Homo-oligomer: A and B are copies of this chain.
Amino acid sequence: MAYSQTNLVADLPSGAGVDLHLDLNRRGIRASLTNALRDAVRTGRLVPGTRLPASRSLASDLGVSRSTVTESYAELVAEGWLVAQQGSGTRVARRAEPHSRQTRTSRGTPNRRLPTHALMPGSTEFGEFPRAQWLAAARRALSVAPRSAFGYGDVLGRVELRTALADYLARARGVHADPDRVVICSGFHHGLKLMTEVLTARGVRAVAVESYGLHIYRDLLAEAGLQVPPLHVDGHGARTDELSALSGVGAALLTPAHQFPTGVALSPERRAAAVDWARTTDGLILEDDYDGEFRYDRQPVGAVQGLDPERVVYFGTASKSLAPGLRLAWMVLPEDLVSEVAAAKGDVESASALEQLTLAEFITSGAFDRHVRSMRQRYRRRRDQLVAELAERAPHVHVTGMAAGLQAVVELPPGTERSVLQAAGQRGLLVSGMAEFRSPLTDPDRPAPSQDALVVNYAAPSDSAWANALDALCSVMPGT
């Protein structure tokens, strides 16, 4: 079983003078190219209107067949990210700007936007930031902040926030947290990057990942030279029982509370298997608790970290519970990792001290709990509407993975995912297919079962946009 991943790096020069650095995976090259381009559009690295290189020249630069490039372009045109125009080649769609670059600059005029319904994971029309309560917390935090808060910070992060988080995580997520083991970072991506540096410095060669997940995290690990063998995902979560059969794996990256994107919770047996593996092999579990605050159907599933705090690195984030724009996340570390992570982070704190103090105040004042409760009701309502509407208008599709979190899986009849995504593109509906999250590194001996499905982020649209987005989604269901 060879899981190594060679990367193909291409600089994509466009007619508009934009160079785009693409880091592609040799295996599954078309999916990798499609994902890289989609991400570049989504995040604004490729701005609306940018002309992409001709398929022939890009194929030649990449050393791949021309059909790989044309298929990749066609798929993104179908999904609405790109536009193909007779005589002017393929361009980034004007409307495809859910995330990023502003349509207005200091000089420009607003671009005309076509109606777009954004339901992809990571979409951020997220309109419910508690502005007044946040400002009140900022006022209280600023009024009592010591002088030292305005200086270069503690490399671990402000002690006030680490203390508030330790208390909150123990109470709400069953995490064994001591403030001295909490490290503040500017997003899960940042935290995982730090852990990757520590792991590679320790000589770790491979980190197991879930066979479905966000490719940016697999890529981050692979770019650091790590192998990323996948664990199958089934109705009980990741197959952590497979870990002991993989050789040379030093850590496993898991989403136990609510597997992303399938939405399954890791079963107690699988949790035990993961911890047993870590204890036996001196391995580490990297627990990505990205939406652990949101559970609708039953008691919150506690963090795996509670089972063995010396074997689990716990990652939490304010991105789902508050807003990605805060760029605040946290890790709870085994004791023997604290100084290594601190060294990887460097001597200069990367998150604003004022923002850290504000979040500490927001948590200790109870505003965070109130906000999470209110968001939980709101998302639950959304989820119920999604389920009810689909049950009525597309009774043959099955919705799963929605007992928690912000996304649900809409299972489709076999072979229909791509055509549904194309129909969605034509309706101006930006949504993700399950295939987008599949690890390209499947073991030929044990292929991952594929499932045609959409991953729907029902928390993405604003209240005013939700009804239309839901309508658009229902309208593209097969057989409707």
Which residues of A come within 8 Å of B, CB atoms? 18-21, 39, 43-45, 99-102, 104-106, 122-127, 129, 131, 134-135, 138-139, 142-143, 145, 147-156, 159, 163, 166-167, 179-180, 186-187, 189-190, 216, 323-328, 339-340, 342-343, 346-355, 462
For A325, give its contact among B153, B163, B186 (CB under 8 Å): B153
For A142, give its contact among B131, B142, B327, B351 (CB under 8 Å): B131
- A320: min CB distance to chain B, Å: 12
Give the interface centre of A102, A124, A129 by most chain B CB atoms within 10 Å. Answer: A102
Question: When the two chains form their complex, are residues B352 and A326 in contact, meaning their CB atoms are under 8 A apart?
Answer: yes
Question: When the two chains form their complex, are residues A159 and B127 in contact, meaning their CB atoms are under 8 A apart?
Answer: no
Chain B residues near A138 (CB, 8 Å)? 135, 138
Cα-based distance from A231 to B150 in the complex (angstroms): 33
Cα-based distance from A167 to B107 in the complex (angstroms): 12
Pairs A-B, 8 closest by C-beta atoms: A124-B151, A325-B353, A150-B323, A106-B163, A21-B343, A43-B347, A102-B159, A150-B325
**Other 19 A-B pairs with CB < 8 A, given A124-B152, A135-B139, A327-B350:** A18-B339, A43-B152, A43-B155, A44-B154, A45-B339, A45-B347, A99-B154, A102-B148, A102-B159, A106-B179, A126-B151, A131-B142, A131-B145, A138-B138, A151-B324, A216-B347, A326-B354, A327-B348, A327-B349
Cα-based distance from A156 to B100 in the complex (angstroms): 10
Chain B residues near A149 (CB, 8 Å)? 325
- Closest B residue by C-beta to A339: B19
Cα-based distance from A153 to B102 in the complex (angstroms): 10
- Closest B residue by C-beta to A190: B350
Cα-based distance from A100 to B179 in the complex (angstroms): 15
Question: When the two chains form their complex, are residues A151 and B353 in contact, meaning their CB atoms are under 8 A apart?
Answer: no
Cα-based distance from A353 to B325 in the complex (angstroms): 5
Copies of this chain held together in the complex: 2
Cα-based distance from A189 to B126 in the complex (angstroms): 32
- A200: min CB distance to chain B, Å: 14
Cα-based distance from A326 to B325 in the complex (angstroms): 15
- A149: min CB distance to chain B, Å: 6
- A132: min CB distance to chain B, Å: 8
Cα-based distance from A339 to B124 in the complex (angstroms): 23
Question: When the two chains form their complex, are residues B347 and A154 in contact, meaning their CB atoms are under 8 A apart?
Answer: no
Question: When the two chains form their complex, are residues B125 and A151 in contact, meaning their CB atoms are under 8 A apart?
Answer: yes
Question: When the two chains form their complex, are residues A125 and B100 in contact, meaning their CB atoms are under 8 A apart?
Answer: no
Cα-based distance from A20 to B340 in the complex (angstroms): 8
Question: When the two chains form their complex, are residues B179 and A150 in contact, meaning their CB atoms are under 8 A apart?
Answer: no
| Known A138-B138, A352-B355: A150·B163 in contact at CB below 8 Å | no
Chain B residues near A131 (CB, 8 Å)? 142-143, 145
User: What are 25 A-B interface contacts by the 8 Å CB criterion?
Assistant: A18-B339, A21-B343, A45-B155, A45-B342, A99-B148, A99-B151, A101-B156, A104-B159, A105-B179, A106-B163, A106-B166, A123-B151, A127-B150, A131-B145, A135-B135, A138-B138, A152-B324, A152-B325, A186-B186, A190-B348, A326-B353, A327-B349, A327-B350, A352-B352, A355-B355
For A124, give its contact among B101, B148, B163 (CB under 8 Å): B148
| Known A152-B122, A179-B105, A340-B19: A187·B325 in contact at CB below 8 Å | no
- A166: min CB distance to chain B, Å: 7
